[in-house]
A and B are shown apart, each in its own frame.
Chain A
């Protein structure tokens, strides 16, 4: 109990409150700009957190992520250009409302939906993460190795149409992640005689290059083809009933908000599914259960409530596998995992044992961030709406230069800027050829833990590879990983045969 009180008091210090506030505000601002999302914002801001205490750093980044999730809805509602993929479902009804002059009402529904989903998911995280972590402590290195293997297999499907390409990317991440000093012999490995690589590649330049810089390169191409940025329609009606969300309207959506949050919590806790899946699933359920499903997509508040509550619930619930097992379920969680590691902590079940006070402090920051989101969103809505209109020719040079200086900031070395630029180009081609940069990044982050578990298994078993088959949980996880790959290959062949039959029928 003392630990809980001390942790929560840490979260209430002025510095901690200030950084959570700034994080949420910056997150909403970044999320509102089309093309910039939560993980990208985290990548850009991680270098700054080097200079903060672990609690303020994590609180700031969590606030940033929460803010960005709501910010994504702003451009979705105003421009029909979702700032984040998970806000796509929000745009269907949100933009329709904007065209009716009710954009502000739509944004308020999105805000309250986000806050509701976020608060419910944070409650679930607080309630179950620590007890589950206590159970996870019984897992040995074999189970951890098998679990990471399974997670990589499942996560490989994120951000690509093909699991094969996802696994190639994950394998590449594993390969790049082991550059540096080998843990057993303490000798350099795959450093190509470059002393700068002796300590391995830092997460910061790699993440900035892959997430932010490569995205900007793609956006620049888009800008060159499309020309000037879109402008938001006139969203702020003079009629009060078109601007404000009445209590009756809010409570009419209570069921949808609770259902959406529950879907978001479930989906977020499953590694590899992510916020877009939760958002679409929740929207679909809301439509199926509605008495007027045909009105969805034409400006229904329920559609916005369903989408936003689900995608915001994912933010907190995706921290469950991270805190309990040390496995990031999505890209934002992977970036937060990197931030934990930068501050000398390894996410996983031991986190609650070794850093209990800090963990309760983080819980406190998560709750405070939800409240700040409600306040900042409520009073700063009009200001954040302006963010969608920042001209690309002003924004992109600033982001490019921020990427460069952010990469430099970590170790104060221009070598890291070179690494960032190199991974920017790699990320550019990965996006172009549909290789999952998410799988790459998660493989890159997880490889030290994966190798540690493997080394422990080999040493404990005295080089006996059958040890995995002597541990039922480990064996089940490994079999599941093999099943996922085999199933994907089989499905691909079957789908091909179906396409072939369809083509033959069309010829007849």
Chain B
């Protein structure tokens, strides 16, 4: 996908999001006008309006680039990956798989912590994350997981007096 195609897709997605907000979310989830002051929907509409206007301006600029023989200037058009020789910032299949690999344990932790005690689930989580990042030194992994788990437990329970999430085992 070329740079122009990707910018076009991104701007069209923004236009779609703005349409969704304008025609469904803002009218449905905003209180009615109380009869004085500005409408509760005004700021939302203005915010969506800014996004929409900028997306449309960008689309016009892209159309000028495609049909008007007016190419995008380098600094204006470049996505970060084009300037980054190492290619860290590409959004490809590999990157998305990588993202999902790390996000999945995090979201699982949010749900699992309601049912499993903090001390256990935090230890498991830290072990999994270290493994995913590439640590294969099991002694180091266990030491870091236990130390971090215990440190945060002590700081939260005894330092700030905040209950740790999930069922309490101690």
Contact = CB atoms under 8 A, between A and B. Distances in A.
A421 B108 CA distance: 11
B43 A454 contact: yes
Nearest to B49: A171
A404 B109 contact: yes
A217 B106 CA distance: 12
Interface stretch (A288-296, A315-323, A423-431): A423-431
Interface in A392-411: 392-394, 396-398, 400-402, 404-405, 408-409
B31 A393 contact: no
Contacts of B47: 171-172, 174-175, 178, 443, 447
A446 B91 CA distance: 31
Interface in A426-477: 428-429, 431-434, 443, 447, 450-451, 454-455, 458-459
A190 interface: yes
A386 to B, nearest CB: 17
B140 A394 contact: yes
Contacts, number: 213
B12 interface: no
A171 B48 contact: yes
Contacts of B61: 164, 489, 492-493, 496
Interface in A208-243: 217-218, 220-226
Q: What are the 9 closest A-B residue pairs judged by CB atoms, nearest first?
A: A495-B73, A171-B50, A187-B31, A174-B47, A171-B51, A175-B47, A393-B135, A397-B129, A458-B38
Given A171-B50, A401-B125, A221 B133 contact: no
B16 to A, nearest CB: 13
Contacts of A182: 30-31, 40
B79 A433 contact: yes
Majority-rule SS of B interface residues = helix
Interface in A173-190: 174-175, 178, 182, 184-185, 187-190
Contacts of B154: none
Question: A interface, how many residues as a size bin?
Answer: 35 or more
Given A168-B50, A174-B47, A429-B91, A496 B73 contact: yes
Nearest to B25: A190
Interface of A: 48, 50-51, 161-162, 164-165, 167-168, 170-172, 174-175, 178, 182, 184-185, 187-193, 217-218, 220-226, 392-394, 396-398, 400-402, 404-405, 408-409, 412, 414, 417-418, 421, 424-425, 428-429, 431-434, 443, 447, 450-451, 454-455, 458-459, 489, 492-493, 495-500, 503
A175 B167 CA distance: 36
B70 to A, nearest CB: 4
B38 A161 contact: no
Given A191-B29, A500-B69, A405 B129 contact: no
A447 B40 CA distance: 13
A401 B43 contact: no
B29 to A, nearest CB: 5
B120 interface: no
